[in-house]
Structure 1
């Protein structure tokens, strides 16, 4: 039990008498420390184990290294330091005037570039540094540059991690509002918008920014954190899409590399495409429009998954109806006779129809359940999931094949059911008059059923007839 003294008291912790360090609380609740004299931030508990002196020594070494390399540290430059589990310290500087992270020596980092290939121009690298400037996850989640090694740089985002005791500048708020307004207009006028948010989200963000305006030129950690989060997302999108660079991505389905989007369909997929009624090819085309250069645009991916989810839900209904029809067919007396050791062709075909319908139902339920899976809940997790799938033998074609199975199995179930019904009609019917009446109707239904399939593959009866007439005319002319 912790006793609470009566009356009003000073609730400052007794160990916080070091006036050089201020304990600050992040809007999310995290605690960190700030040294105003050194312009130094850290998440380490500077009140314990004499770590404060160690951090100050690291700060001195970092600033000396900057001076040696001719880097002027102005009053707007801050320093962040963290101690790793192995006892080493990591650090980075941040320049609020330039709105970037910096280090006093050359660094390289694949994580800092976000895995984006082809980054060579300094103007392009600046977007990556600015994105890290605006928003941050937990400090321990990233690797900082150590004083004894220049091999790697951190993936750091400063303003959201340390939003306290800083003013919200008016130009930043106005810039953010302009980016949101343009993304809103682009989402309305373009089907291939690069906006990281959909229309509903952009409207909510715009109204949120309008509320933040009251905190302009004031110290408000909540408003700073809000603006920094959205600035990071928009600037990161500019970096990924090579904003301001030669060959910048202007549409969400535009590839900047010789990526999977340009690859031909494999021979195996072409064979399976015929067996699965062209469904894999259609799903692959749709997938390549949302998975471009191993990146995803969140609104397009969400729309893509919503369409698939709706499609799978409808297939569950159709598959259930197909199963009911198969079971009812087998229940007809004489169709599935348990006393007969050899099953008839009709019974075997209906068994196959039942299995296909059941497979379609099960796969539809599994895929629909995976829509809400954590692997697909955010762009980062989606990209990770798709990257893993792309490393399989068929690459992204394997995903297209999985997505096409519910439709293809359902169609095969219907085909087997139609074959079973046809066998029953033409093999077990002895009435000639009935056969004469059923045969034309059966032929018409088959033709009408295959018509959409032929038309989808640009095969038209009228075109064939016209070609036949032209051929016959040429034969007549030759004879003459």
Structure 2
């Protein structure tokens, strides 16, 4: 090391940071032909004694080491302890930590392990403690969540789930150090997934990140794993699932008064989405209000800047189906316009309709290519996609307009085609007959359109009136209960 270990060079770190760096910081090596040694053993003994360290391999292959030191602290590290001098450096940093514990009078729980990561070039050391009985991590002094990389939280209880997630990441990275606690964690996790499956089957907007089918598969997997709960292979995926559960509980504010009970429920104070008046005029006047539907759909997928895999995949599949249908309609109208050109009395209308169809087909092809690339993507991809398209000045208005263009162009092209057909049908009639025919037909069409609009947009009954009209409080279906507060259910 470049300097003597001291507490000034001791820095807190999160297990999630270690996990991320593990996958990003892969070292490249070169392989070459090698001589096979004589004898039955291909692996020679290490040239440097490990001095009581246990060297383990993660189920995915990464090597790590752990040892119970004379001070009673179990030390875990990914350092190459077989190299000369590395164990001495680790013990030197352990002595620094023990001095801090003595100076600050920090009570050290018995069921806690210390992780150390030495940085040879800077002479610093990262550390954290993992406490197995409380399933959390801690450091030797108070920290600001920003400085250590933890997310913003509402309360200490809320923050605890972020710490718990990092604890389970630690267990996932170093499974052999937590094997005695595996069976209890497995049994609890199975109960959680049983409830999650029932919740997904009885609710349209569950908050759990896995679907009912996925939960059923995990339940079966956990049941099969009970006889091997202490195996590092089992401990690894049990910890990975627990980290997902802790992350889910953090973002739903589990245990708080304002906890999220539905995936489309907003619980955070966020600024209202800004709307551009120009884009609003274009949406309502030129695009028949179609972008409003797409905008509402995007906003429902990005409540409190959270995305869920199941609703996202359902949205992508539905969008692809709509675009495929729109492609068929545009092609049919394009063919009709092509035949209309031969007999059209106002070619400009037909050419305009044909041009709109062509542009609509191009837009449909572009959107289909984009959406097909999003099939089977997860919530992380959905979050990036939605966040990139949620502009600070206009929200989802721009992307909503783009997605509504194929249908809007089809409507405009259809209107031009209908006007052309209407003109060809009635242009040969005498003026007096034209007037006597068109006015009654127009009046009937206006009445029919008004009736259709009324049927599609019924007047909303006031809540008080609907409650007074019945003698017994109405039953709320199970799938809708999550969308009502306790007070609403008790009215």
Quickly name the TM-score band, shorter chain normalised.
0.7 to 0.9
2:269 partner SS? coil
The correspondence for 1:271, drawn from 273, 281, 285, is 281
Q: Which residue of 2 aligns with 1:99?
A: 135
Give the TM-score taking structure 2 as reference length. 0.76
CA distance in 2, matches of 1:453, 1:414: 20
Q: Deviations over 1:245-292 (max 9, x none)?
A: 1211111111112336x5475533431232212212122222222210
Q: CA deviation at 1:392?
A: 4.4
- State the SS of the aligned residue for 1:106: coil
Matched, 1:158 2:193: no
- Deviation digits for residues 275-333 of structure 1, max 9, x if unmatched? 21221212222222221011112222222222222212221222222222222322x15
Q: Please, which runs of 5 or more residues in structure 2 have no aligned partner?
A: 1-32, 460-491
Q: Which residue of 1 aligns with 2:356?
A: 356
Asked if 2 retains the 8 angstrom alpha-carbon contact of 1:101 and 1:130, the reply is yes
The answer for the alignment partner of 1:380 in structure 2 is 380
Q: Does 1:250 align with 2:274?
A: no
**SS at structure 2 position matched to 1:245:** coil
The 8 Å contact of residues 376 and 385 in structure 1, kept in 2 or not, is answered as no
Alpha-carbon contact 1:242-1:249 (below 8 Å) kept: yes
State the shift of 1:365 in Å.
Answer: 2.5
Give, in whole Å, the separation in 2 of the partners of 1:431 and 1:298: 63
> Do the aligned residues in 2 keep the contact of 1:99 with 1:133 (CA within 8 Å)?
yes
Q: Which region of structure 1 is more displaced relative to structure 2, 48-57 or 395-404?
A: 48-57
Matched, 1:420 2:455: no
**Which residue of the partner structure matches residue 310 of structure 1?**
321
CA contact (8 A) 1:241 1:249 kept: yes
The equivalent residue for 2:397 is 397
Partner of 2:74: 39
Structure 2 partner of 1:109: 145
- Larger RCO: Structure 1 or Structure 2 (Cα < 8 Å, ≥ 6 residues apart)? 2
Structure 1 CA distance for aligned equivalents of residues 234 and 164 of structure 2: 18
Residue 95 of structure 2 corresponds to residue 60 of structure 1: yes
Does the alignment pair 1:300 with 2:311?
Answer: yes
| Cα distance in 1 for residues equivalent to 2:329 and 2:147 | 46
Task: Assess if the C-alpha contact under 8 Å between 2:54 and 2:66 holds in 1.
Answer: yes
Could you give the per-residue CA deviations for residues 383-417 of structure 1, whole angstroms, max 9, x where no partner exists? 23322222343122223222222222221221122
Q: CA deviation at 1:364?
A: 2.4
**Are the aligned partners of 1:180 and 1:206 in contact in 2 as well (CA < 8 Å)?**
yes
Q: Which 5+ residue runs of structure 1 have no aligned equivalent?
A: 135-156, 336-343, 460-480
**Partner of residue 2 from structure 1, selected from 11, 27, 34:** 34
Alignment of 1:227 with 2:238, yes or no, is yes
For the aligned residue pairs, the C-alpha RMSD in angstroms reads 3.1
1:239 alignment partner in structure 2: 250
Which TM-score applies when normalising by structure 1? 0.78
Q: 3-state DSSP class of the match of 2:143?
A: coil
Cα distance in 2 for residues equivalent to 1:111 and 1:317 = 55
The one of 197, 202, 211 aligned to 2:210: 197
User: Is this contact kept in 1: 2:136–2:164, CA < 8 A?
Assistant: yes
The count of corresponding residues between Structure 1 and Structure 2 is: 420
Give how far 1:78 is off.
Answer: 1.2
Contact 1:276–1:404 (Cα < 8 Å) also in 2: yes
1:185 positional shift: 1.0
Counterpart of 1:473?
A: none
Check whether the contact 1:375–1:381 (CA below 8 A) recurs between aligned residues. no
Deviation at 1:366, TM superposition (A): 2.2
Indicate the SS of the match to 1:164. helix
User: What corresponds to 2:479 in structure 1?
Assistant: none
* Secondary structure class of the residue paired with 2:55: strand
SS in 2 for 1:92: strand
> Quick one: distance in 2 between partners of 1:404 and 1:67?
66
Give 1:181 shift.
1.0
Task: Label 1:77 to 1:115 Cα distance change in 2 as closer, same or farther (>3 A).
Answer: closer
The separation in 1 between residues aligned to 2:270 and 2:102, in whole angstroms, is 44
* Residues 15 and 357 of structure 1: CA distance in aligned 2, closer, same or farther (over 3 Å): farther
Q: Say if 1:120 and 1:435 are closer, same or farther in 2 by CA, change over 3 A.
A: closer
On the 8 A contact 2:57/2:63 being kept in 1, the answer is yes
CA distance in 2, matches of 1:361, 1:379: 30
Q: What secondary structure sits across from 1:2 in the alignment?
A: coil
- Alpha-carbon distance in 2 for matches of 1:269, 1:185: 43
- Partners of 2:402 and 2:84 in 1: CA distance: 56
Contact 1:93 1:101 (8 Å CA) reproduced? yes
Given that residues 392 and 398 in structure 1 are in contact (C-alpha distance below 8 angstroms), is that contact kept between their aligned partners in structure 2?
Answer: no
2:162 aligned partner: 128
